[in-house]
Amino acid sequence: MRTERNIKPVLEKVQDQLKVRVYDQREAMGKAAAADIREAMQRLLAEKERIRIVFAAAPSQNECLAALIQSEGLDWSRVTAFHMDEYIGLPPSAPQRFGNFLSRQLFDRVSPGEVHLIDGLNDPEAECDRYSRLVTAEPIDMVVLGIGENGHIAFNDPPVADFADPLWVKRVELDEACRLQQVNDGCFASLEEVPAYALTLTVPALMSGAHLFCVVPGASKRAAVQRTLQGEISEACPASILRRHPDCTLYVDLDSYGQIRNG
């Protein structure tokens, strides 16, 4: 089954350089994002032997990933896949590990030619070095990401986000609001169970991607979406930097965008 390309947004706008598309329902948003991702992958695969894509792992991505795995005409054997963050210390079998999430939801279903997972049990400094070398070996073609309730992208929470970060992968302490989101998403039963530290691609690493697709559904993300679009571009809302990317599209539903007024 092909992803649908005829789903129309109820609103399209541009905020600075950020393209914004609002859909009436979460499923429509996910299908539309997947259709655009598929189209970009096909175009790039027609130009290059291999492409490199970074994926986010979160329930907010479910609809998009479900539609993407149904897409026809994609040679996943020519895709090198990465993910953007991982908890430190969770056992290999933990379902909350982001590598496990993406393996279940995407990688095991489409079989990319290469999959590079972050090892949250490795020595953090050594793992940051290892993964940085993998990520920087060639340019990143695409990034499929979301936005956290506190405005984070990957695990770049406001206290640790740095738009001029010299690193590509780093160890971070997670903001309490970020950890609470993991409980609200049903990933953990309590705040105490959520790891306090993680490894993450930095803001410059994410922004290095040539084409960004940011998928952000749900009412719990509305304040973060509003700050992303209307607030100051600063580390206080890390996602606000997306307004400076030359090719980033933000996909939201009415729950995350809010009421449409005056177009």
The answer as to whether 12 is a domain residue is: no
Instruction: Find how far residue 80's CA is from the centre of its chain.
Output: 16
Q: Are 206 and 236 in contact (CB under 8 A)?
A: no
- What is the tally of structural domains in the chain? 1
The answer as to whether 200 is a domain residue is: yes
CA distance 61 to 49: 27
The answer as to whether 127 is a domain residue is: yes
Task: Specify the CATH number for the domain of residue 162.
Answer: 3.40.50.1360
- Region 83-110 average pLDDT: 95
The answer as to whether 33 is a domain residue is: yes
CA distance 93 to 81: 20
pLDDT the model gives residue 2: 43
User: Does position 93 have pLDDT exceeding 80, yes or no?
Assistant: yes
Q: How far is CA 4 from CA 46, 55, 80, 133, 158, in A?
A: 21, 21, 24, 36, 36
What is the three-class DSSP state of 150?
Answer: coil
pTM across the whole model: 0.94
User: Does position 22 have pLDDT exceeding 60, yes or no?
Assistant: yes
Instruction: Find how far residue 152's CA is from the centre of its chain.
Output: 10
pLDDT the model gives residue 181: 86
The answer as to whether 190 is a domain residue is: yes
Domain range for residue 234?
17-257
- Measured CA angle at 97 (ends 92, 99), to 5 deg: 90
The answer as to whether 83 is a domain residue is: yes
pLDDT the model gives residue 186: 86
* 172 bridge partner residues: 198
- pLDDT per residue over 152-187, tens digit each? 999 999 999 999 999 999 999 999 988 988 888 888
Q: Are 54 and 142 in contact (CB under 8 A)?
A: yes
Backbone phi and psi for residue 178, each to the nearest 5 degrees, phi listed first: -65, -45
Q: Are 196 and 222 in contact (CB under 8 A)?
A: no
The answer as to whether 49 is a domain residue is: yes
What is the three-class DSSP state of 247?
Answer: coil
pLDDT the model gives residue 259: 82
User: Does position 1 have pLDDT exceeding 50, yes or no?
Assistant: no
The answer as to whether 70 is a domain residue is: yes
Token pair, residue 250, equals: 């933000």
pLDDT the model gives residue 105: 96
User: Does position 262 have pLDDT exceeding 70, yes or no?
Assistant: no
